[in-house]
Structure 1
């Protein structure tokens, strides 16, 4: 070891910080992780835990999601995570949504090798004893995975500490970073490499460099619910509304018809940025959401109107009533110059920011690539690197 306190110092114990810590520890680096809260409390535990491949835009995000798919399997087995690996179901509720799914499967999906299947008729009716037979079709995303993030992150922390010797400093604020040095609320630490993964906090660290990216924050309304008719759901669920949100579909010509249908029938969906996601928990409950509001800061106040829309959409999708157990506000960094940024902020200091809500889908792979680049490792050619 060098004269530094560690080889790799990570700021932030969300999924992006843990991904970089895992990538470094696997390479034999001495890793320290600093997190200002007593446990991960940010975007990574407030989300759906969906690691999607099928929804990713062609290019770098699809490449990263495919790489992360295998990494999740490895990490899930090592850390003992409860993961749903049966895939996702994206339901077409209308003729125009079905037309888009068909065009995707026969066009981009086939050309770029998305592993999806379009289920109709008997195949659709066979799902969950006919629970979803009222939909027109379903796109099965075979590579999509889902975990319960509010439990999974603490399991990953435990695994990295126990099995790989990663040293965690919770309830410790990093006040400043400079070349190979972090000034914290418990002292000064030095490292060969410092990686800042501080989420949507754009003010505490590297504020001037981050401001140049003009990032925003996205706030989301989320709920945990229980179906009144028990449902042992094993898939992540989406609807055709997601086809105007996710990059795999949003730029297809058929998406315009869905947008027009939304503006005619339910313009409030566009106003509030609503598209339905549903994720199962290991306890028989479901996480549903979400809405999207953007700005430099996000108001802490949720609106009952948005929650009511989400509940109605979920009940229509599930074909039955649900009981609300919890409500909360999700939040993540958004709308930077691309889906993510990797900044060489100072000698020995790198900042990694997500500008979308897709950290669970691509974060493990982004961590691998960033650490490989910092260490000067050669990596295989990527179609969109």
Structure 2
């Protein structure tokens, strides 16, 4: 029988970067994926690498390390990384105070950023609406990735140049410890053996170790996003706005965060988990969103199957307060889903010394997964 050093179940961003770091350590790795291609949370997101939004200090540092990993990979193969920077725009004096405070916190950590006045923001980005912006903070080192292709391109690089073994359309139905190592059974009757297994199955928690996930404090988040029709270039960088400043965890470290006052209009948007992000793709289309709603991990059916027109209208109306664009015509709209730990930053568990569960990273996967998995694999070996 063939035995691997490591088998990874789930070929999303967590599984792929676990494979990357294990291969760099000279391990033999098999990556298993239940679908022909993975297509869940790792692909239904904005594709923004923004360490500036992560909780301080730990997850910011994971994000910072992830940026370096992305940049190193981009030097070897095109993973779609574009170093276009991130703008945060304040819509009122309270948000501007938070930008001033977070500027200081990141400056102390030698993370390049610069504050701008409202007029400077308008001069740099004429698409901004004068009545909205009170000032801005720019992070030039941050980047965008195309979530539709990034993980696929990294995986192909690992297969071609680093010796990754990959098997799609392989649904795993059991993982057990046997003879001191891990044995994996597939729905097609295959058996695989390895010294260690990483289970990175995303929101599919009802098949493998369902009791473990049922007892864990996990929830599923549903996000709504939309894409406007291709149009002339309105901006280059990632744009994050006032509601984002009020939502992202890095700002919770600001002394003034807990003094924030919220208007009735802001509260209504926050009740639907709405904050407004913009990203303009290479074809000129503009991705904007998003909203957040939650159900317990084993109650996905409670989401139903509809995209809420009301929520999309709320997001569009708020977006129209912020930017001038050529067209607000919507080309497509979709929902993304991810598993999130309720009271911790991520859910990890080791079973029988050889089975390692990683899940519940939430909405910070694109920004932090490469850095987090580097540390995880280092501890594993």
The alignment's TM-score, normalised by the length of structure 2, stands at 0.91
Q: Residue deviations 1:25-82, cap 9 Å, x none? A: 1222221111111111110000011111111111221121111111111122323122
Structure 2 match to 1:357: 363
Q: How far apart are residue 7 of structure 1 and its match?
A: 1.4
Aligned mates of 1:374, 1:256 — CA distance in 2: 38
Structure 1 Cα separation of the partners of residues 305 and 111 of structure 2: 38
Q: Is the 8 A contact 1:225 1:326 kept in 2?
A: yes
- The within-5 A match list for 1:103-122 is 103-106=101-104, 108-121=105-118
Where 1:83 maps in the other structure, the secondary structure is coil
Task: Indicate conservation of the 8 Å contact 2:233/2:280, yes or no.
Answer: no
Contact 1:115 1:141 in 2 (8 A): yes
**What does residue range 60-209 of structure 1 map to in structure 2 within 5 Å?**
60-106=58-104, 108-121=105-118, 123-128=120-125, 130-132=126-128, 134=130, 135-179=133-177, 180-186=182-188, 187-209=190-212
What's the offset of the Cα at 1:233? 3.4
Q: What's the counterpart of residue 7 of structure 1?
A: 5
CA contact 2:127–2:235 (8 Å) conserved in 1: no
How far apart, in 1, do the equivalents of 2:176 and 2:376 lie? 19
Q: Do structure 1's residue 302 and structure 2's residue 307 form an aligned pair?
A: yes
Per-residue deviation, residues 257-298 of structure 1 (Å, max 9, x unmatched): 65x334x23432121010111223222212211111111223
Q: What residue in structure 2 maps to residue 237 of structure 1?
A: 239
* Residues 225 and 285, structure 1, Cα contact 8 Å, conserved in 2: yes
SS across alignment from 1:317: coil
Structure 2: distance between partners of 1:202 and 1:160: 27
Match of 1:51 in 2: 49
2:220 aligns with one of 217, 224, 229: 217
**Whole-Å Cα distance in 1 between the matches of residues 77 and 322 of structure 2?**
33
CA RMSD of aligned residues (A): 1.9
Unaligned stretches of 5+ in structure 2?
none
Structure 1 counterpart SS, 2:249? coil
Q: Give me the whole-angstrom Cα distance separating, in 1, the residues matched to 2:304 and 2:80.
A: 33
Which of 345, 349, 357 lines up with 2:351 in the alignment?
Answer: 345
Structure 1 pair 207–143 and aligned structure 2 pair: CA distance change class (3 A): farther
Distance (whole Å) between structure 2 residues aligned to residue 251 and residue 306 of structure 1? 29
**Offset of residue 94 of structure 1:** 2.0
1:293 aligned partner = 293
Instruction: Using the TM superposition, give the Cα deviation of residue 312 of structure 1 relative to its aligned residue in structure 2, in angstroms.
Output: 1.9
SS of residue in 2 equivalent to 1:325: strand
In structure 2, distance between residues paired with 1:7 and 1:299: 41
In the alignment, does 2:248 pair up with 1:246?
A: yes
